[in-house]
Structure 1
Amino acid sequence: MTSWIGRTAAEIAAAVQEKRATPREVVAEHLARIERLDGRIGAFRVVRAEAALAEADEVAARGDLAELPLAGVPVAVKDNLAVRGESMRIGSAATPDTPSDHDHVTVARLRAAGAVVVGLTNVPELCVFGTTEGVHGTARNPWDTSRTAGGSSGGSAAAVAAGLVPIALGNDGMGSLRIPAANCGLVTLKPGPGVAPPIDDSNWFGMSENGPLATTVEDARLLLSVIADTEFVRPDEPATLKVAVSLRSPISGVTIGKPYTAAVREAAGLLIKAGHQVRRADPPYPLSLGFTSLQHWTAGTSVDAEGLDPKQLTRRTRVHAAVGRRFVSGVRAGKGREELRRRLEPFFAEHDVLLLPALARRSPKADPWHERGWLRNILVNTNYSPLTPPWNLTGWPAMAVPFGTLPSGAPCAVQLVARPGSETVLLEVAAELERRHPWERTAPLD
């Protein structure tokens, strides 16, 4: 019997389209793996076993099965996006346990494309932090289960890296796709505004974008195309790009660990061999960037916490929201983000792509961070993931791409950033790195 575990979404969809596999057998095999392994990983808050099998049968009965881009593909959805019939808890005890009466538009597009939603994945409370733990569970890195998967799309990333699903949906407000993808050895792309539909209620003043988590660039392109309802077509001829390479942290005083700088240097070497024009150049980050990031990060949480019972929020979330309250009006005005864009635009007029580390160091231990103090959480998050927030503040597309390994054997990663509208350019650079430096796609859990 053919196993579909570890296969890409593209491979599974092709097999279902060609009647070499049925949606039910594909989904059932992944559900069995979830039942066997997720107790060690903590990827899912809810597993929709019976509903997913019933929906798999509905996909099999569709007259357009042969044309469905995600025919029979099991997917996981981050627990801040509505899935019809399931509650949306956003990692908190303060949110209502009431089933949603509709699908978020990205989920509806997944279903329309033939995908089967097998479950909703764990997130930190209100999707605030770069580690995923709380009252609904702790998401661990499948490559090193002593470490957090990252956050806030930590459960979705863990599910894909563990082979529980081939692809998953997440979103990114200050790095929430790229941080867990980098930890877990996955490909992701945070698109620019207007590419994919935003989160319904909270998109952190337009900074948060929905995007894919996948094990290959092809699958990331496929999932992004479905949720964006746009084809990200590969160009006939590869372009020669001007690539800037930076090893500097955007946040003053934070250093980048050697495995991450080494990964960037090696990736730069491969892009030189591919014919691109590559040179060292640091973006002109302002000294105020750390404070600007903190203002937007906390203000977004302050808005999200409105109407929730503060007694049911964890202390770190309450403090985060209280700090952000004073910044909400200024953040809404948008001057800080506009000034940052103006400062960085000349750099991106001169360079097509920026290559930089995805993280500064490996992820923290998978500890109960939700029980720790606010300042300790802030310091841990800032010291390990200072390189993602600038690209939410500007709104520019950014990717995390697996590249190399850490001394522990867990994956390392690089980040790619480009000017607005350059999602296809980033996908092509990522595909170039994948061809020249392929990575192990699934954590060896068996």
Structure 2
Amino acid sequence: MDASADRLPASEVADRSLVGLPATEIAARVRSGGLSAVEVVRAHLAHLADVEARIGAFRVVRTAAALAEAAAVDSSPRRAELPLAGVPVAVKDNVAVAGEVATDGSRAHVPRPATADHPVVARLRAAGAVVVGITRVPELCIYAATDAPGTVTRNPWDTARSPAGSSGGSAAAVAAGVVPLAHGNDGMGSLRLPAAACGLVTLKPGRGVVPGPVGANSWFGMAEHGVLATTTADLAAGLAVLAGRPVAEPEAPVAPLRIAVSTRSPVPGVRLDAAGRAAVDAVVGELRAAGHTVLRKDPVVLPGAALGTVVRWLAGADADAEALGLDPVGMEPRSRTHARLGRWVRRAGLVRPRTAEAFRGRMTSFFADVDVLLTPVVAGPPLPARPWHERGFLANTTANARWAPWTSAWNLAGLPALVLPAGPGRAGLPSSVQFVGPAGSETRLLWLSGEVERRLPWRRHAPVFVPDQPAGSRSG
């Protein structure tokens, strides 16, 4: 699983001022002919070469292929219509990219290059995006830190910390300015946790918004595809492309919103740290100042729903291992135990559709008199960047549960949930909050994120990883 990359020719000088631009700005300038996709991609590949040794975000870097794809964008007769024209993107290592091998983070797979793109990759490319590389994930995408034998992916804000998981490589790449937009997916928080760890904005869409399976069976309906970005506008554009919808600015609601706030942890004994509480309080203050009604209201997550989530997490990993043909002997010990428990769960018939539907119904009732729910995302700073794969199943699952109790319920319910940076941060690391809405509220959540971004602007990249650029390429 060593990263493979061919290098840029030494004679090709990259314009580093293009690194750090938002995806929407890059696309607009490439569409108009003010920039070429090739020069944009070349600049980002050069920046990737500079920072990759410190963050370990990529399993594969597609230098020659990406430059060829960028040249095709420049020569396309449809260039002026492409919503992501020339935008460098990264793709998570659990979906097919034509000509590449998807490993799901495991060394125990049989290498088979994909013959066609996964639907989400095909949609990104059809929109003019250029795939510069494939990002690292923990084995079977089941952990809240990203590491594997011989490699530990690191958080650009603090390389002693993890960028979380499982979309950790994608998040590290965006936070370091290597790409302005990256693909990921989310079965129990795998987009939202890396976004919180790396100061990014993301949205796990509701069930059925973005087509295409995640893994063998989408963890029995819990997993959804999405993107990681540094601005709400970029997030909205990326999500629209994945959903097959026109890119448009989210419409404002016709009236101020009723927003519930809950900081109660679904996991007993887990307490939110001061920075997390300050982030929630800062957003509450701005929401009230903007004219929204904010009230305290806790959703009730019944034990059956919590058990149903864990059951799908276990069984989904086993189904993915089976579909990939993984050799159990070659799997990491923690993953082998995880899959073995999942196999028992599947054989016992514990994955029951009525569990998810009952919880979805309960949450539909919760949103009957509120428009949005505001919660924390994580209980404290990201987990340390270390070889978690050397630790056992129990150590991993306990660390994950204590750090990230606020995300997985919304996967079981199939409801949209958005994470954005907010608050004073955690000693040099970002802090974030989560907005959750009823089915079909993706546009509402995106609009609300944009409003918070305008009132509480955040730094878009980890500062140490952003080269000298014009002021317009940064924020915060």
Same fold (TM over 0.5): yes
Contact 2:167 2:191 in 1 (8 A): yes
Counterparts in 2 of 1:69-88, with a 5 A limit? 69-88=83-102
Q: Please report how far the alpha carbon of residue 290 of structure 1 lies from its aligned counterpart in structure 2 after TM superposition.
A: 3.9
The match for 1:228 among 227, 243, 255 is 243
Give ranges in structure 2 of 5+ residues lacking alignment: 1-14, 466-476
SS in 2 for 1:147: coil
The match for 2:181 among 160, 163, 167 is 167
Alignment partners' CA distance in 1, 2:253 and 2:416? 22
Give ranges in structure 1 of 5+ residues lacking alignment: none
Alignment partners' CA distance in 2, 1:239 and 1:81? 40
Counterparts in 2 of 1:75-154, with a 5 A limit? 75-135=89-149, 137-154=151-168
Contact 1:149 1:158 in 2 (8 A): yes
SS in 1 for 2:159: strand
- List structure 1 runs of 4+ shifted beyond 4 angstroms: none
Q: Write the letter of the residue equivalent to 1:325.
A: R
The match for 1:254 among 270, 275, 286 is 270
Alignment partners' CA distance in 2, 1:71 and 1:189? 22
The match for 1:335 among 348, 351, 354 is 354
Alignment partners' CA distance in 2, 1:391 and 1:445? 34
Where does residue 416 of structure 2 map in the other structure? 397
Where does residue 316 of structure 1 map in the other structure? 334
1:38 aligns with 2:57: no
1:26 aligns with 2:26: no
Q: Please report how far the alpha carbon of residue 233 of structure 1 lies from its aligned counterpart in structure 2 after TM superposition.
A: 4.6
Q: Please report how far the alpha carbon of residue 399 of structure 1 lies from its aligned counterpart in structure 2 after TM superposition.
A: 0.6
Where does residue 439 of structure 1 map in the other structure? 458
Q: Please report how far the alpha carbon of residue 136 of structure 1 lies from its aligned counterpart in structure 2 after TM superposition.
A: 6.6
Q: Please report how far the alpha carbon of residue 145 of structure 1 lies from its aligned counterpart in structure 2 after TM superposition.
A: 0.6
Where does residue 212 of structure 1 map in the other structure? 227
Where does residue 16 of structure 1 map in the other structure? 30
Where does residue 284 of structure 2 map in the other structure? 268
Q: Please report how far the alpha carbon of residue 348 of structure 1 lies from its aligned counterpart in structure 2 after TM superposition.
A: 1.2
Q: Write the letter of the residue equivalent to 2:234.
A: D
RMSD: 1.5
Alignment partners' CA distance in 2, 1:237 and 1:92? 45
Alignment partners' CA distance in 1, 2:208 and 2:306? 26
Q: Write the letter of the residue equivalent to 1:408.
A: A
Contact 2:58 2:133 in 1 (8 A): yes
Alignment partners' CA distance in 1, 2:426 and 2:225? 32
Cα shift readout 1:357-406 (whole Å, capped 9, x = no counterpart): 01111111001001101100011000000110000000000011111243
Where does residue 195 of structure 1 map in the other structure? 209
TM-score (norm 2): 0.91
Q: Write the letter of the residue equivalent to 1:164.
A: V
Where does residue 468 of structure 2 map in the other structure? none
Contact 1:122 1:136 in 2 (8 A): no
Q: Write the letter of the residue equivalent to 2:235.
A: A
Alignment partners' CA distance in 2, 1:63 and 1:419? 40
* Number of aligned residues: 446
Q: Write the letter of the residue equivalent to 1:402.
A: P
Q: Please report how far the alpha carbon of residue 238 of structure 1 lies from its aligned counterpart in structure 2 after TM superposition.
A: 5.1
Q: Please report how far the alpha carbon of residue 429 of structure 1 lies from its aligned counterpart in structure 2 after TM superposition.
A: 0.9
Alignment partners' CA distance in 1, 2:426 and 2:120? 37
Alignment partners' CA distance in 2, 1:338 and 1:222? 30
Alignment partners' CA distance in 1, 2:327 and 2:184? 26
Alignment partners' CA distance in 2, 1:2 and 1:41? 19
TM-score (norm 1): 0.97
Query: Which stretch has the larger CA shift, 131-140 or 358-367?
Result: 131-140
Contact 2:256 2:292 in 1 (8 A): yes
Alignment partners' CA distance in 2, 1:238 and 1:437? 22
Contact 2:30 2:36 in 1 (8 A): yes
Give the fraction of aligned pairs with identical amino acids, expressed as a percent: 51
Q: Please report how far the alpha carbon of residue 334 of structure 1 lies from its aligned counterpart in structure 2 after TM superposition.
A: 1.2
Q: Please report how far the alpha carbon of residue 138 of structure 1 lies from its aligned counterpart in structure 2 after TM superposition.
A: 2.1
Counterparts in 2 of 1:237-248, with a 5 A limit? 239-248=255-264
Counterparts in 2 of 1:239-388, with a 5 A limit? 239-306=255-322, 307-328=325-346, 330-388=349-407
Contact 1:260 1:360 in 2 (8 A): yes
SS in 2 for 1:197: coil
Alignment partners' CA distance in 2, 1:135 and 1:198? 30
